[in-house]
């Protein structure tokens, strides 16, 4: 099966894991710090905070900013559910915002403006598929409204512009991301005080970690704030250090593959639309397409699968899920819903070759053609 995404791991990652095991120190040690520094350097930041997941990163950012009961946070519904869940973790209210258009499936500033209330405190921008929104426009909006800008950058590691929009950015290193530590995440926050609060909160608010106490020979510690168990271990950090070396090159391969997909799809199945038609900075995390209205998506999925090609959907709208239908009844986001009904994600990762792309597009053209004929009958 040709997978939608695939981790690029091999001998260097295995060697790094063996080194950690041989060291006898498995969690929150020198490798975590090395990874944090390397990740920050790649993004032109002073430092970063490694955590257990992007979900943890988002939660820690909101917690450290003091977002809480009575506050509202603007979020897109075209995202993984963790974006909204993190808002609930701090007992605030997620307010779902529609996308700009079918071609630009990023949160709409105009819709966000219309949904602002005196209780609105923050906005979480999601870099969907790795594509970045208009930074200056969002910064102007946030300044005008007095809002905190937070980036959900799960799809966009490796771009120096990420982490420069507002107060902080959250990253994911899950197994299907541009780089992986299997599970894991990170926070980039330019303000040192905010970064220190996040770092403290990731480990139960403890004033020192086990590794620090070993080196200082002082066994005592204090707990100065409410914290969580959101630490990254040495094994994942070691993988991350290796993965960071490959990330820039992998992102370049992704860009080349996306350009080829765009060219071949335009030639062979022009009824299929590809979002982000205008040039836009991206880490090219996934390859979303929009099937024609006449096509039955499940038929296309089944036909591609029968030819050994996996597909998936990014994303079922969060506001349509049972939990959020019950908590936020009556929400209607017509552009998000229309996009989600037609979206299909096809394979994109650095192990794919140009010949593979040709095969995927040929299979897609056949599947869409057969589905449309079936509808016509």
Question: How high is the pLDDT of residue 358?
Answer: 98
**Which residue in 164, 211, 153, 148 sits closest to 186, CA to CA?**
153
Fold classification of 11-98+106-242 (topology level): 3.40.640
The pLDDT of residue 338 is above 70: yes
Confidence tier at 374 by pLDDT (50, 70, 90): low
> Phi/psi at 254 (nearest 5 deg)?
-60, -45
Instruction: Return the bridge partners of 168, or none.
Output: 150
Q: Is the pLDDT of residue 146 over 60?
A: yes
- Provide the mean pLDDT of the chain: 95
What average pLDDT score do residues 146-174 get?
Answer: 98
Percent of the chain's residues with pLDDT above 90: 92
- CA–CA distance, 237 with 27 (Å, rounded to integer): 9
Half-sphere exposure for 44 (CA within 13 Å, toward CB): 7
pLDDT at 221: 83
Cite the active site residues.
177
Give the start-to-end residue ranges of the domains of the chain: 11-98+106-242, 247-376
Q: Once rounded to an integer, what is the mean pLDDT over residues 172-189?
A: 98
* Alpha-carbon dihedral angle through residues 167, 173, 174, 176, given to the nearest 10 degrees: 110
pLDDT of the residue at 277: 97
Alpha helix (H) ranges present in the chain?
Answer: 11-23, 30-42, 54-64, 82-89, 109-115, 135-145, 192-201, 210-216, 234-268, 297-306, 322-327, 334-342, 354-376
22-31, 216-225, 250-259, 355-364: least confident range: 216-225
Give the residue-averaged pLDDT of 113-117. 98
Position 337 scores a pLDDT of 98
**pLDDT value at 214 more than 90:** no
Predicted TM-score (pTM) of this structure = 0.95
* Per-residue confidence (pLDDT) for residue 376, from 0 to 100: 44
Burial class (CB in 10 A: 0-12, 13-18, 19+), 373: exposed
> How confident is the model over 130-156, as a mean pLDDT?
98
pLDDT band at 370 (very low <50, low <70, confident <90, very high): confident
3-state SS, 20-74, equals HHHHCCCECCHHHHHHHHHHHHHCCCCCCEEECCHHHHHHHHHHHCCCCCCCEEE
* Stated length of the chain: 377
User: Model confidence over 228-281: pLDDT tens digits?
Assistant: 999 999 999 999 999 999 999 999 999 999 999 999 999 999 999 999 999 999
Q: CA 148 to CA 142: how far, in whole Å? A: 7
Q: Please state, for a pLDDT cut of 70, what percent of the chain lies above it.
A: 96
pLDDT per position as a tens digit, 278-307 = 999 999 999 999 999 999 999 999 999 999
Q: At the topology level of CATH, where does 247-376 sit?
A: 3.90.1150
Tell whether the model's pLDDT for residue 78 goes beyond 80: yes
Q: Over the stretch 42-71, which tens digit does the pLDDT of each residue have?
A: 999 999 999 999 999 999 999 999 999 999
Peptide bond between residue 315 and the one before it cis (omega within 30 degrees of 0): yes
């Amino acid at each position: 099966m040709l997978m939608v995404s695939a981790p690029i791991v091999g001998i260097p990652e295995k060697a790094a894991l063996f080194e950690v095991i041989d060291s006898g120190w498995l969690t929150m040690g020198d490798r975590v710090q090395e990874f944090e520094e390397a990740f920050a350097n790649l993004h032109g930041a002073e430092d970063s905070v490694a955590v257990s997941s992007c979900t943890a990163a988002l939660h820690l950012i909101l917690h450290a900013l003091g977002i809480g009961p009575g506050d509202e946070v603007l979020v897109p519904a075209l995202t993984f559910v963790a974006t909204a869940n993190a808002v609930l973790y701090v007992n605030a209210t997620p307010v779902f915002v529609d996308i700009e258009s079918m071609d630009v499936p990023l949160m709409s500033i105009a819709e966000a403006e219309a949904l602002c209330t005196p209780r609105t405190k923050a906005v979480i921008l999601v870099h969907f598929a790795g594509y970045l929104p208009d930074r200056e426009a969002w910064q102007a909006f946030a300044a005008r409204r007095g809002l905190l800008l937070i980036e959900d950058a799960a799809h966009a590691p490796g771009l120096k512009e990420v982490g420069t929009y507002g107060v902080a950015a959250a990253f994911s290193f899950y197994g299907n991301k541009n780089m992986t530590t299997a599970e894991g995440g990170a926070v980039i926050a330019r303000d040192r005080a905010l970064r220190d609060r996040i770092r403290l909160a990731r480990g139960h608010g403890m004033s020192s970690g086990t590794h620090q106490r070993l080196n200082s020979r002082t066994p005592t510690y204090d707990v100065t704030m409410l914290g969580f168990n959101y630490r990254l271990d040495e094994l994942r950090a070691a993988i991350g250090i290796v993965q960071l070396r490959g990330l820039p090159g992998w992102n370049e391969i992704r860009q080349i593959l996306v350009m080829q997909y765009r060219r071949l799809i335009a030639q062979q199945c022009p009824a299929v639309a590809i979002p982000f038609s205008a040039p836009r900075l991206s880490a090219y995390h996934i390859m979303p397409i929009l099937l024609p209205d006449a096509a039955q998506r499940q038929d296309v999925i089944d036909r591609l699968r029968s030819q050994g090609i996996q597909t998936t959907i990014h994303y079922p709208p969060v506001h349509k899920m049972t939990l959020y239908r019950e908590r936020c009844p009556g929400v209607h986001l017509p552009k998000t819903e229309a996009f989600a009904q037609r979206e299909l994600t096809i394979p994109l990762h650095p192990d794919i070759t140009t010949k593979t792309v040709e095969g995927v597009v040929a299979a897609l053209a056949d599947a869409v053609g057969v589905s449309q004929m079936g509808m016509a009958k």
